[in-house]
Amino acid sequence: MMRIPVDLGKDSYDIIIEKGGISKAGEFFDLKRKVLIVTDSGVPSEYSKAVEAQCSDSVTVILPEGEASKSLNNFEKICHMMLKNNFSREDCVVAVGGGVTGDIAGFAASCYMRGVDFYNIPTTLLSQVDSSVGGKTAVDFCGIKNIVGTFYQPKGVIIDSEVLETLDERQFSCGASEIIKMAAAFDREFFEIIETSCIQDNLEKAIAGALKIKAKVVEEDEKEKGLRKALNFGHTIGHGIESETTLLHGECVAVGMLCMCSPEVRKRIEPVLKREGLATTMAEAVSRGIAEEFDREKLTDVVTEAVMHDKKAEDGIITAVKVDEIGRFRFEKLDKKQISSAIREVLQ
Ligand code: GLY
């Protein structure tokens, strides 16, 4: 068992990395009270049942799988379930699922009676190494991702690498993409480790490496005033590609990273992405059948528009994270023309 503390004063908590940890949730979380378990239809039911088995008084909400579930309707459904079952401020919510489940369950926990305890058991590699830690909770609203939400830290997080055995390969690669992102932007030594060995072969070490970076960043900048924005390496253009294509989040981050780094860094990141099963160009994604045929100029234009309309744009200027040297990042302000040419470059 490995314990990674996240030191945030009165909001501190531990991340427990433990094979089979889901079946021991009661050892790490206080489940001797009413527990609302939130999961989704894509998560094997044995995982939420493993948590239920450790509770004396639990109810479970199963949301439909997918981003569309991050809605105010489902937020209402979760709150309603707590109300109907007489949850008090002393009770708690446990998320068992990927990023969507964790984000909406955490948001409901942060609002119900002005905040009940929240625990997270992420079941995808992507949510294990990123969204389960750091307290960002949200729902999507009016077509805008994560626009309504809170910063609300969990009381504990369990990372059980055994649950990844049921994760499909494409989803696994998406998590690998975020691990590569953290290493490339923040930690040269960690990058060298994942450069020489497959993430799957050293899974817990790779997860722990990413989480140590995430914990440090969140400790320094919980509310994303500065440093935490660097976690968006690959995301600026990645989000634009995500909104205009069928690619998954981590796949878009992979392509997004490649146009935000120096040629030297690109030379090192690209083979690692490939080894982890990620497409490094849109053409490759098309030939694999995970993206539709595209017209380069048209897609460049729509992705550019999507990036420029991102809620983080200010007066037509986007602050992007650039990596010129492995383990170091810098922020750079880019205008529409610069964004467009970076996009055109990766849309080959
Ligand atoms: N996923 C980026 C962050 O937590 O800030």
Q: Does residue 42's CB lie within 6 angstroms of at least one atom of ligand 1?
A: no
- What is the reported pLDDT for 310? 78
Which residue has its alpha carbon closest to ligand 1 atom 3?
231
Report residue 272 as tokens: 């690692």
Contacts of 96 (CB under 8 A, 6+ apart): 22, 37, 38, 39, 43, 47, 48, 51, 121, 123
- What is the distance between the alpha carbons of residues 96 and 119, in angstroms, rounded to a whole number? 9
Residue 228's closest CA among 321, 310, 307, 314? 321
Residue 61's closest CA among 89, 84, 28, 29? 84
If you measure from the C-alpha of residue 231 to the centroid of ligand 1, how many angstroms do you get, rounded to a whole number?
Answer: 6
DSSP code of residue 263: H
- What is the reported pLDDT for 335? 94
Kindly name the residue from 232, 244, 251, 322 that is annotated as catalytic: 232
* 263-279 mean pLDDT: 98
- The residue count of the chain comes to 348
For the chain, percent of residues with pLDDT exceeding 90? 96
- What is the distance between the alpha carbons of residues 183 and 167, in angstroms, rounded to a whole number? 23
229-243, 262-276, 299-313: least confidently modelled range: 299-313
Q: Is 178 a catalytic residue?
A: yes
pLDDT tens-place string over residues 36-84: 999 999 999 999 999 999 999 999 999 999 999 999 999 999 999 999 9
pLDDT tens-place string over residues 106-133: 999 999 999 999 999 999 999 999 999 9
- What is the distance between the alpha carbons of residues 52 and 26, in angstroms, rounded to a whole number? 10
Averaged pLDDT of the chain: 96
Contact 141, 147 (CB under 8 A): yes
How sure is the predictor about 313, in pLDDT bands with cuts at 50, 70 and 90? Answer: confident
Residue 233's closest CA among 295, 164, 319? 319
If you measure from the C-alpha of residue 115 to the centroid of ligand 1, how many angstroms do you get, rounded to a whole number?
Answer: 21
Residue 69's closest CA among 44, 38, 100, 42? 100
Q: Does residue 136's CB lie within 6 angstroms of at least one atom of ligand 1?
A: yes
- What is the reported pLDDT for 253? 97
DSSP 82-131: HHHTT--TT-EEEEEESHHHHHHHHHHHHHGGG--EEEEEE-SHHIIIII
How sure is the predictor about 311, in pLDDT bands with cuts at 50, 70 and 90? Answer: low
How sure is the predictor about 272, in pLDDT bands with cuts at 50, 70 and 90? Answer: very high
Ligand 1 closest atom vs CA 130: 1
pLDDT tens-place string over residues 286-301: 999 999 999 999 999 9
